[in-house]
Amino acid sequence: MRSLLAALLPAMLLVLAALPARGGPALVFEPETGAVLHAHEPFQRWHPASLTKLMTLYILFDDIERGELRLKTPVVVSDRAVAIGANTMGWPAGTEIELGEAITILTTKSANDIAVAVAEAAAGSEAAFVTRMNETAARLGMRDTRFANPHGLHDPGQYMTARDIAVLSRAMIQRFPRFMPSFAVAEGRVRGEEVRGHNQLLGRFEGADGLKTGYVCAAGWNIAASATRGGRQLVAIVLGGLREGHREEIAGDFLEAGFSGELRGTGLTLGDLARPETAGEPVNMRPYVCEGQTPPARLASFGRSQAPLPRPRPQD
């Protein structure tokens, strides 16, 4: 028996190495072509936290491009915005800023009161803006996304997937290139107040130039990280980091592997990824991120499997 196990061990190790990676959802792609370099659980629904603001910003950029809004459009902090109470600018109701300043705040500090304020400025009410968010998601083909607010504070019914975040990120990069530098700002000042970004790759990882981070207990630490080297841009989506800095470590590792050629690619584009017939409920990371419980093995690490992905079914 021992001799048989010894003979089979090399083959067993090769099989194990080919198994799909364990860990939270992760996806690496090239925005220019849509080519997917790596995908793990791309259709697993996940609470997005402040990655929600990518859609908030997408709609603002679209309104500006269509002339519905201007960078100098006034944005007023309402009583409803003040009541949000978590990661805010802390300004009193009635404070007025320009939309361009609000965009800087959203791409850096990610202030939730300002997300409410811009939603009201753009659509008249937060509820009307959320309707636009869901309509836009449907138009972009984000089939596993549902928005309940414009900021990302936890709502059990608000979710996205790594694939949908990639679709939104790609659409934003392709449609609004003049606004992309705003995501590369690590810190700035608005009305004399410092606003610092949360993306720890900026200024530390070669070529890092955006996009957005997000964190709430139920989501863990999320990131959609962009970097450009030699004219080639890559984006890594990492969802469910277990601690501060974890998402940047993993995203940086994925991006480095993409630029070096270690990630050989899947032969698929974002549109080719095979969507499962049924989608599970979003994973709740609160017990592991904020309550000290040990996460299951499948959430404890993010590997880089090169196992082939299934081709889309004809009905997809």
Q: Give the Cα separation of 288 and 284 in Å (integer).
A: 9
Which one-letter DSSP state was computed for residue 267?
Answer: S
C-beta separation of 25 from 237 below 8 A: yes
Residues of the chain with pLDDT under 70: 1-23, 300-316
In this structure, the strands spanning 268-269 and 35-40 are antiparallel
Q: Residue 280, exposed/middle/buried by CB under 10 A (0-12, 13-18, 19+)? A: exposed
Q: Strand, coil or helix: what is 268?
A: strand
Q: Can you spell out the DSSP letters for 25-41? A: -EEEE-TTT-EEEEEES
Q: Minimal CA–CA distance to 154: which of 48, 69, 278? A: 48
Q: Give the Cα separation of 115 and 112 in Å (integer).
A: 5
Q: Give the Cα separation of 71 and 64 in Å (integer).
A: 7
In this structure, the strands spanning 268-269 and 187-190 are unpaired
The one catalytic residue in 50, 78, 169, 182 is 50
The one catalytic residue in 78, 110, 169, 226 is 110
Quote the pLDDT of residue 300.
63
Q: Give the Cα separation of 108 and 183 in Å (integer).
A: 7
**E-state strands within the chain:** 26-29, 35-40, 74-76, 96-98, 187-190, 193-196, 208-216, 220-229, 232-241, 268-269
188: left (phi over 0), alpha (psi -120 to 50) or beta: beta
Which tokens hold the place of 213? 């981070």
Q: What residue type is assigned to position 42 of the chain?
A: P
Domain annotation for the chain: domains and CATH numbers? 24-293 (3.40.710.10)
The model's pTM:
0.88
C-beta separation of 140 from 159 below 8 A: no
The one catalytic residue in 53, 78, 109, 212 is 53
- Could you report the per-residue pLDDT of 154-183, keeping only the tens digit for each? 999 999 999 999 999 999 999 999 999 999
C-beta separation of 58 from 137 below 8 A: no
Other residues' Cβ atoms within 10 Å of the Cβ of residue 219 = 30
Catalytic (active site) residue 305: no
Which one-letter DSSP state was computed for residue 279?
Answer: -
Contacts by residues 187-196 (CB-CB < 8 Å, ≥ 24 positions apart): 187/108, 188/104, 188/108, 190/97, 190/101, 190/104, 190/105, 191/97, 191/101, 193/89, 195/104, 195/105, 195/108, 195/109, 195/111, 196/108, 196/109
Catalytic (active site) residue 72: no
